[in-house]
Amino acid sequence: MTRLVVATLVAIGLLVGCSAKKEKLGADEYYKNATEAFTKENYPVAVNNYKDLLDQYPFSEHAEEAELQIAHAQYQSHHYPEAIAAFNDFQRMHPMSPHLAEVYYLLGKSYMDQMTTVDRDQAASENAHGWFRVVIERYPTSPFAAKARRKLATCRRSLAEHELYVATYYFQRKNLHAGENRVKGILENYPDTPAATHAVAALADAYTRAGDGEHEKMARAALDECQHAASAETASNDDKDDKDDDPKADDSKTKGAGDTLVASIAAPAPDPPGPATALLLANLTSRYGVGQGVSTAATAPSLIDPVPGEKTAGRGAAVPPGGNEPIGGY
């Protein structure tokens, strides 16, 4: 009797195990199920079906699209680390793909959407900056290039505001030399951002507190120039960003190029600093030397594939100002 019970239980177990096995579908059916789920914004189901397609039929005609759609689905789900990994895998495996401009742009967006406040580590801002530069330099006529240029301006403002935060920290603690050096870096690397105006204002106030009338006069003259230039630049950039960040727009599915987009790619470079600002920068440079410039990720886009030395600091890691070394890895 005992043997009969055991045999029955084993048979039931085998039947349950067999019924639990996943039914293997055809490549077209996996693709159809995944596409339908993606269209309905059921991204977990879409990802699972695309992965099943790749596992079962790695050489299917749908394989490349499945790899790209997995990355899209992760991005749309706000799973940014997973999206970054998937987009990176795609661009490494398909270096000649016609979708690379889109992939690089969405790599930038995946980092940009993780940007935090200016008092935090700026790794996400740096990586986003680098990938947007890749799009602009490698694919200047792509519809993604114009969007990348506007996003790049946002990244530059974030990086500049971080430097301003550090400079202000030093001034508040009466570390004039460290603060001057940070202001110099802002004028060298981000002269077209609002942070440049605020940095010069903070420097002028620091000179006032230090009783340094000669340098204060120089800084006040530069401040007058910066205020005029920054107000116009801020209005222009804010207008562009508002249009680009329309919540109804889907960054991961942008298609086609228009005359307006292509024309905006060729926007002129920022005007050179006025004479008073140039004089202030020359004075600071004579005392502190020429700075390192922006990070490698931000300034060498033609060499990025992926971004060399991609920053990996945790999201929102606090940045403790102190010392004279660059904060946040740059």
Residue 66 lies inside a defined structural domain of this protein: yes
Report which of 229, 123, 224, 218 is spatially closest to residue 180, judged by C-alpha positions: 218
pLDDT tens digit string along 278-329? 999 999 999 998 876 665 445 433 334 444 445 544 433 333 333 333 222 2
Residue 129 lies inside a defined structural domain of this protein: no
Show the tokens assigned to 330: 């740059």
Residue 171 lies inside a defined structural domain of this protein: no
Whole-prediction pTM: 0.75
pLDDT tens digit string along 88-105? 999 999 999 999 999 999
For the chain, percent of residues with pLDDT exceeding 90:
64
Domain with 37 in it: what CATH number?
Answer: 1.25.40.10
Please, what is the end-to-end C-alpha distance for the chain in angstroms?
76
Residue 93 lies inside a defined structural domain of this protein: yes
pLDDT tens digit string along 104-123? 999 999 999 999 999 999 99
Residue 274 lies inside a defined structural domain of this protein: no
Residue 46 has pLDDT above 70, yes or no: yes
Tell me which residue range forms the domain holding 34: 30-97
Residue 239 lies inside a defined structural domain of this protein: no
Assign 3-class secondary structure to 136-165: HHHCCCCHHHHHHHHHHHHHHHHHHHHHHH
Residue 179 lies inside a defined structural domain of this protein: no
Q: For the chain, what is the domain count?
A: 1
Residue 62 lies inside a defined structural domain of this protein: yes
